[in-house]
Structure 1
Amino acid sequence: MRLPANLVIAALACLPALAAQEAQTLARADGSLIHYTIDRPAGPPTGLIVIAQGSGCLPGATNTGIATVRAAFADYTAVVVEKIGITPGAKIAEGHVDCPKAFVDGYTMTQRVSDYVTVLEHLRESPELGASRLVLYGGSEGGLAVARLAAELDPVATIVMSSGTGLSLEELIKSTVPPEGHAMLDDGFAKARVSPDDSTLFAGSSYRYWADSLDQRVLDYMIASSSPFLLIQGGRDLSNPPHAARLAANAFAEAGDCRLTYWEFPALDHSMLMPNRASKLGEVAQLAAEWVKDPLPAC
């Protein structure tokens, strides 16, 4: 299903006020801390939504994109889990070249998902947060995180946005790089596979990160899950191009699996921006919030 690029809704102006974020911590097995924030709705929660940020080490608690998505789910308790080595108030300017050592040395997708599971298992002990109705929302690299979570947990709905869904991470990266750059990528990725515990940086991430993630494909975790999925794709996305998302949509269609709803917005890019740089993320997120109310329409 492709929605018209000029679809505009005004519901965001009517959203209720939100309470202040609550900073929380939990200890990992090694004694280091998982930092996360809880944002409660003004009234009883409809459910609990986990919003997963994309790549880099900027704090999720101050991420404007996450705040926009959170506003669309104003009647949910919202949870943002920071990446290893990151606190909600961390003073990080760029988010890729200035990441703290604890992040560079420790961050992998497997480790990230483990942190989410730890936090959610803890929060499910607090029914007043609405955790019995779990929704997952992840953009870009966060889409892989929530797809993996969906395969482990039992969310009522999962939203994946701009995540190169039908290709492995290695395939996705190569698809966005000219052929003359593939030899450099092959060399770096081969070194990462040989040294999967190494913190050496290549293309902005550690060998450890690449070795853990290169062969992962969002689609595989989606298929392994029982969750309904909403897959959101921008037609102008150069980082995670539309053909990767269409591969996933086609895989579900060919299997006769009705759990996937696919929206492609031809005029939007990776961040849901129009060509004039106007953001449509709030409107897209509000549409997603409406979809969550009935995530399994008939095929």
Structure 2
Amino acid sequence: MMRALILAASAALSATCTSAFAARVLDEAPITIDGQPRRYYHLHDTEAAGKATPILLISGSGCKDFGSRVPFFFERYPAPVDVYFLEKTGINKGDNSETCSTAYKSGDYLERRVSDNLAFIDSLPALKAMTARSLAVLGFSEGGTVAPLVALRSPKIGWLATGGSGGLPQSESFLIFADHGIEPYAKPFSRAYLLQTYAEIKADPESVDKEFFGHSYRYWSSHLFYDPLVTYRQLDIPIIAAMGEKDESEAIESGRALRDEFTKHPHKDFTFIEYPNASHALQAPDKPHLQDYVASLADWFKRQRPAPR
């Protein structure tokens, strides 16, 4: 049975939402993906069916239970909300990421995350019934790498939004951090150490026992050397990307590389937002930008209509 959690509307939400969709609900239900039992979440407003742009949310790295946190990102969303989120394999409710399960580690690589979300779109009746270019995909951090690939492979995706993700291979971002003297990439690590580790990962790309930065070599072989620009160049839908100037996980140069790539193609519908002094979570010393960025997508969806596929 699907169980619903009725979420108390915050003051900010009440100020912007009408009574027609004041009650925000988080549903949790089981689903089988590739023969494995999983769970997914559906955040939506009551009495607002069909009024919202549906969003597929893709989370970042790690094995922390993310599903219960979904409502936080949409607390300031000023419109009916209709969000779907598939929890990663091997994550149990309440997991705090201190110890990741064997099942999680075995499925923790880029192509698996992409294929799981594509299967989710094709398996869940509500998503399967959607027409071409009627679904948006929103990815944060690692999810910002997964989301463009999902957008490229699913004809249902009509908008792409990312946060904390850019256009350079992650291996290059780490080297940029090392060159800038940023810890731990420059100390205790170094450019030479990173290059040596890259070579070791390439020599043993399927290892789930060897680790670097808390992830297996299998994970890193799928992420470190992947070039996002190859995917972005093939997309023909509205795209918006946001990064913090002081992002500590993805070098801001990666976001600027994405911006510069689309500057060469002004006919493409692309928006880049760089928040001054903000972190990977879009948190500036004087202002949190994450929820405001997500809230701004409601208007962006209305203005940036995807062309028919």
**Fold in common (TM above 0.5):** yes
**Alignment partner of 1:160 out of 162, 171, 174:** 162
CA contact (8 A) 1:176 1:239 kept: no
> Is residue 2:217 matched to residue 1:231?
no
SS at the partner of 1:135? strand
Greater CA drift, 103-112 or 252-261: 252-261
**Alignment partner of 1:279 out of 283, 288, 291:** 288
Q: Residue in 2 aligned with 1:105?
A: 106
CA shift, 1:243, in A, is 2.0
Question: Following superposition, which runs of at least 4 residues in structure 1 exceed 6 angstroms of deviation?
Answer: none
Distance 2:24 2:172 in 1: 41
CA contact (8 A) 2:28 2:39 kept: no
CA contact (8 A) 1:158 1:229 kept: yes
- CA offsets per residue over residues 55-81 of structure 1, 9 Å max, x none? 111122023xx3233342752321111
1:35 to 1:51, Cα distance in 2 relative to 1, 3 A: same
Q: What is the correspondence of 1:197-212 to structure 2 with a 5 Å cutoff?
A: 197-199=206-208, 200-212=210-222
- CA offsets per residue over residues 228-266 of structure 1, 9 Å max, x none? 100112222232232211111111111234221111221
1:27 to 1:73, Cα distance in 2 relative to 1, 3 A: farther
Partner AA of 2:72 in structure 1: T
Distance 2:259 2:122 in 1: 31
Distance 1:49 1:214 in 2: 27
Q: Residue in 1 aligned with 2:29?
A: 23
Q: What is the correspondence of 1:98-177 to structure 2 with a 5 Å cutoff?
A: 98-123=99-124, 125-126=125-126, 133-154=134-155, 155-163=157-165, 165-177=166-178
Q: Residue in 1 aligned with 2:61?
A: 55
> Is residue 2:258 matched to residue 1:248?
yes
Distance 1:233 1:57 in 2: 23
CA shift, 1:54, in A, is 1.1
Listed as ranges, the gaps of 5+ residues in structure 2 are 1-11
CA contact (8 A) 1:144 1:217 kept: no
1:61 to 1:127, Cα distance in 2 relative to 1, 3 A: closer
1:11 to 1:113, Cα distance in 2 relative to 1, 3 A: same
Listed as ranges, the gaps of 5+ residues in structure 1 are 1-9
Distance 1:212 1:130 in 2: 30
**Alignment partner of 1:222 out of 209, 225, 232:** 232
CA contact (8 A) 1:39 1:77 kept: yes
1:272 to 1:292, Cα distance in 2 relative to 1, 3 A: same
> Is residue 2:101 matched to residue 1:92?
no
1:73 to 1:104, Cα distance in 2 relative to 1, 3 A: farther
CA shift, 1:20, in A, is 3.0
Q: Residue in 2 aligned with 1:3?
A: none
- Structure with higher strand content: 2
1:188 to 1:241, Cα distance in 2 relative to 1, 3 A: closer
SS at the partner of 2:199? helix
SS at the partner of 1:233? strand
1:110 to 1:127, Cα distance in 2 relative to 1, 3 A: closer
1:249 to 1:257, Cα distance in 2 relative to 1, 3 A: farther
CA contact (8 A) 2:26 2:71 kept: no
CA shift, 1:184, in A, is 2.2
1:92 to 1:131, Cα distance in 2 relative to 1, 3 A: farther
- CA offsets per residue over residues 123-151 of structure 1, 9 Å max, x none? 3x437986762011111111001111111
Distance 2:128 2:221 in 1: 39
SS at the partner of 2:84? strand
Q: Residue in 1 aligned with 2:42?
A: 38
> Is residue 2:78 matched to residue 1:77?
no
1:139 to 1:261, Cα distance in 2 relative to 1, 3 A: same
Greater CA drift, 44-53 or 178-187: 178-187
CA contact (8 A) 2:121 2:128 kept: no
CA contact (8 A) 2:13 2:78 kept: no
CA contact (8 A) 1:138 1:161 kept: yes
CA shift, 1:153, in A, is 1.5
Distance 1:142 1:240 in 2: 13
Please give the root-mean-square deviation of Cα atoms over the aligned residues, in Å: 2.4
SS at the partner of 2:218? helix
